[in-house]
Structure 1
Amino acid sequence: MKFSLFYFDGDGASPSKDRYRLLTESARFADDNGLAALWVPERHFHAFGGLYPNPSTIHAALAMITKRVQLRSGSIVLPLHHPVRVAEEIAVVDNLSGGRAGVAIASGWTRNEFVLSREPHGSRRSLMWRSYDQLSKLLAGETVPFEDADGSVVEAKTLPRPVQPRVPFWVACQSTETFVEAGRRGINVLTALLGETLETLTPKIQAYRRSLEKHGHDPASGTVTIMVHTFLGADADEVKANVKGPFSEYLRTHYHLLEGLARSMGLDIALENFSKDDLDSLIEFGVEGFIKGRSLIGTPEGCAETVEALGDAGIDEIACLIDFVQDYDLVMGGLPHLARLAKIHAGRVPLAEAV
């Protein structure tokens, strides 16, 4: 099992001059302690999450302060951008980092984001795959035709060229259909336990492996990466006490996560119909639900069973969401425990000897 860091939150409306301190210092930690990658999302119009409107901009900076760790966009919303611009930015990051760029693509979520697109929200999935095909050709050095505003065809070939012969791609997956299409195309998948359980996710991973094999790809070659909320420490009770308040506020801010968790537990709810007291009770229930089996919240020893279950389901990499706790010292203090967990499950050292 590989472990990486995933950034999703962060108060973009804060007046602080140190908005990116957690990002940069945890990136240095990941680079020095053998973690696999740093994942940065594309998020627009979110006060919490507003630190990350453009993954390529962030990774250009991280390339300057890291040497080994992979720099992955998770995910670029392809329908919002022209493929030429995306190809150019990816290639710049790959050059600045010496060949460490990786990219997850997504079709998009909220309608508000599509103020950046000339295409309708309803066409986003087909547009994502069309843009991916164009992007792949551009990164491979091929010429791709595009129409300009006057309807004239322009033969585009982007520069600079990436360092890597083939930049690795993931696609954000929720539906079985997307898992199967990822297998057909031979690219990796990025998923999460937000609206389902590991029991419902496992058949989708199996469908992905079958699709890889059916379409001539090595079924073991595809990487399945899962986003998991992570906060580790030496004492489970202390960890829970530190996490409960921040995670409650996190769920209150991100209603879709709470609704998805409820659906995965068989509850069909509409949060707009909830009173404040009911919502408080549901959030407390949601925190407990995330901690048990859907997160790496606790001690390295206590989370070992969850890591093993994820591995048994066919998952290759855990992308640890670390910034849902908005406390720099607490998050950084937990990272050595994450590094220890990574060493344990990389098979390098026995549990008793991991430090």
Structure 2
Amino acid sequence: MKFSLFYFDGDGSARNTDAYKLLLDSARFADQNGLLALWLPERHFHAFGGLYPNPALIHSALSMVTENVQLRSGSVVLPLHHPVRVAEDWSVLDNLSGGRAGIAIASGWTMQEFILSREPHGFRRSLMWQSYEQLTRLLAGEAVEFEDADGNLVEAKTLPRPLQPRIPFWVACQSQETFVEAGRRGINVLCSLLGERIEDIAPKIRAYREALDQNGHDPDAGKVSIMVHTYLAEDPETAKANVIGPFSDYLRTHYHLLESLARSMKLDVNLSEFSEDDVDSLLKFGVEGFMNGRSLIGSAASVEPVVEALAEAGVDEIACLIDFVQDYDLVMGGLPQIAALAKATARTRRLELA
């Protein structure tokens, strides 16, 4: 099992010279302590993300303060961009970083962000795959034709070329259909425990590996990366006491996670009809179960069964989502425990192979 850091939250509305302090300092820590990668999302407008509107731009800054860690998007929303723009941005990043770029792609989520797209929201999945095919050809140095404003075909061949012979790709997956399509195309997958349990993810990973095999790809070569809320301390009680408040606040602002929490409690409800007292009760009785079943919140020892279960399900990499806790000292204080867990897992694996 490999371990990375994943960033998803953060309020960019305030003019704050320290807005990216956690990102920069935790990136340096990851780079110096053997973590595999840094994942940055693409999230637009304050209500949906704040600090991370452009992963290639922010990773360009991180490439200047890191040397080893891989720099990945989690994810580029391809329907919002022209493939030439994406190819140029990520080629530049690959050069700046010495060949450390990786791209996860996504079809998009909210209707609002499609003000950036020329195509309707309903076409987003087919447009993502079309753009992916064009993007990979551009990154390989091929010429690709596009229409200009007058409808004429123009041949584009982008520069600079990336340093890597092939920048690795992931696709953000939730439905089994997307897992299977990723296997058919032979690319990696990025999934999450945000709204599902490990037992829900496992059959999708099996279907992915079967699709790899059936389409002439090495089923063991495809990488499955999973985003998991992570906060580790010396003991489980301290970890939970430190984050239960911030985690409850986080869930309160992410209604799709609250709905998942309600379903796990066998509640068939419409949260838009919940009162504040109802939401408080849901959080009070359900948040600890959510933390125990779908997160790495505890000590390095207490979360080992979750890591083992993810490995048995076919996961290759845990992308530790750390910034759901909006407290710099708490997050930075927990990073050494993540590094220790990563080293212990690697050591156990070496002993098993020996």
The 8 Å contact of residues 108 and 124 in structure 1, kept in 2 or not, is answered as yes
Aligned counterpart, 1:192: 192
Normalising by the residue count of structure 1, what TM-score does the alignment of the two structures yield?
Answer: 0.96
Task: Report the secondary structure of 2:339's partner residue.
Answer: helix
Paired AA for residue 292 in structure 2: K
Q: What CA distance in whole angstroms lies between the structure 1 residues aligned with 2:20 and 2:184?
A: 38
Alpha-carbon distance between aligned partners in 2 of 1:349 and 1:76, rounded to the nearest angstrom: 32
Partner deviation per Cα, 1:260-297 (whole Å, 9 max, x = no partner)? 33335543321111111111111223421221121000
Q: Which whole-Å CA distance do the structure 2 matches of 1:350 and 1:90 have between them? A: 34
SS in 1 for 2:38: strand
Distance 2:329 2:220 in 1: 39
**Worse-superposed segment, 46-55 or 155-164:** 46-55
* Alpha-carbon contact 2:83-2:131 (below 8 Å) kept: yes
Deviation at 1:122, TM superposition (A): 0.4
Distance in 1 of aligned mates of 2:316 and 2:339: 17
- Which residue does 1:272 correspond to in 2? 272
Kindly state the Cα deviation for residue 238 of structure 1 after the two structures are TM-superposed.
1.4
Tell me how many residue pairs correspond in the alignment. 351
Quick one: which amino acid aligns to residue 138 of structure 2? L
Deviations 1:135-190 (A, max 9, x none): 00000000000001100000000000000000000000000100000000000000
* Aligned residues of 1:4 and 1:36 also touching (Cα < 8 A): yes
Counterpart contact for 2:76–2:105, Cα < 8 Å? yes
Give the superposition deviation at 1:17.
1.2
Per the alignment, do residues 293 and 62 of structure 1 end up closer, same or farther by CA in structure 2, a change over 3 Å counting?
same
> Kindly tell me: are residues 264 and 103 of structure 1, through their superposed partners in 2, closer, same or farther at Cα, counting changes over 3 Å?
farther
Query: Using a 3 Å threshold, how does the CA distance of structure 1 residues 144 and 48 change in structure 2: closer, same or farther?
Result: closer
Residue equivalent to 2:127 = 127
CA contact (8 A) 2:194 2:228 kept: no
The more displaced of 278-287 and 230-239 is 278-287
Please name the residue that 1:335 is paired with: 335
1:196–1:264 CA contact under 8 A, matched in 2: no
Give the equivalent residue in structure 1 for 2:111: 111
- Residue by residue, what CA displacement relative to the aligned partner does 1:86-144 show, whole Å, maximum 9, x if unpaired? 00001000000000000000000000000000100000000000000000000000000
Percentage identity across aligned positions?
72
Report the counterpart of residue 152 of structure 1 in structure 2.
152
Give the Cα separation in 2 of the matches to 1:213 and 1:254: 37
* 2:54 equivalent in structure 1: 54
For the residue of structure 2 that corresponds to 1:293, the secondary structure is: helix
Contact kept, 8 Å, 1:87 with 1:139, in 2: the verdict is yes
Structure 2 letter corresponding to 1:107: S
8 A contact 2:40–2:55 mirrored in 1? yes
Deviation string 1:222-264 (CA, Å, 9 cap, x unpaired) is: 0000000000000211111110110111011111111133335
- C-alpha distance after superposition, 1:3-50 (max 9, x if no partner): 000000011112321000000000000000000000000000134621
What 5-or-longer segments of structure 2 have no aligned partner? none
| Aligned counterpart, 1:179 | 179
Contact 1:13 1:50 (8 Å CA) reproduced: yes
CA contact (8 A) 2:79 2:131 kept: yes
**Which residue of the partner structure matches residue 14 of structure 1?**
14
Task: State the alpha-carbon separation in 2 of the partners of residues 268 and 18 from structure 1.
Answer: 42
CA contact (8 A) 1:13 1:47 kept: no
Give the counterpart letter for 1:90 in structure 2: W
- Which residue number corresponds to residue 249 of structure 2? 249
Q: Matched residue of 2:43: which SS?
A: coil
Question: d(CA) in 1 for partners of 2:143 and 2:65?
Answer: 33
CA distance in 1, matches of 2:45, 2:182: 29
Aligned mates of 1:82, 1:153 — CA distance in 2: 15
Which residue of structure 2 lines up, in the alignment, with residue 169 of structure 1? 169
1:30 matched to 2:22? The reply is: no
Alpha-carbon spacing, 1:206–1:223, altered in 2? closer, same or farther (3 Å): same
TM-score, normalised relative to structure 2: 0.97
